Amino acid sequence: MKELKQVTEELLVLVEKMMIEYKSRRESGEKGDFYTEVKPFADEVKEKNDRWKDLSLNWIKETKPKHIHFPQILNTFDNIEMLSVHCFFPESSYNRFISHYQSVSYVLGTELDELNEK
């Protein structure tokens, strides 16, 4: 449970970085270089995201939290992967990016709230 809380907090920080990166790219119009920026960042996120998904699914099985369910974890996992790449491309749909960002932030925040209650 302690590890899940830590990984969730770290993912929230990375998701905030994605939003900052995306806004910066939108302003400058500059795409990220795939090998020096996009891939290293996406790999870092993937490592944490994979761990978060495994820990979260086990946590749900064990504790059956009130406000978090399997489909939310799976969707959030996919959205985080997508955001980690799209944040480097200014032509990514603004509304779609913001929508996925808000969804991810909500699920991660709700999960942290549930973890802090235990």
* pLDDT given at position 60: 97
pTM of the model: 0.95
Average pLDDT over residues 87-99: 97
**What are the tokens at 107?**
């699920």
Q: What is the mean pLDDT of the chain?
A: 97
Confidence of residue 117 (pLDDT cuts 50, 70, 90): confident
Long-range contacts of 14-18 (CB under 8 A, 24+ apart): 14/44, 14/45, 14/48, 14/84, 15/80, 15/83, 15/101, 15/104, 15/105, 15/108, 18/45, 18/83, 18/84, 18/87, 18/101
Sign of the alpha-carbon torsion through 108, 70, 50, 21 = negative
Query: First CA to last CA across the chain, in angstroms?
Result: 9
Confidence of residue 110 (pLDDT cuts 50, 70, 90): very high
Residue 66 near residue 114, CB atoms below 8 Å: yes
Measured at the alpha carbon of residue 85, what is the angle toward residues 83 and 114, in degrees to the nearest 5? 30
* pLDDT given at position 118: 67
User: Minimum mean pLDDT among 6-15, 29-38, 69-78, 109-118: which range?
Assistant: 109-118
Distance between CA atoms of 41 and 78, rounded to whole angstroms?
16
Residue 9: pLDDT above 80?
yes
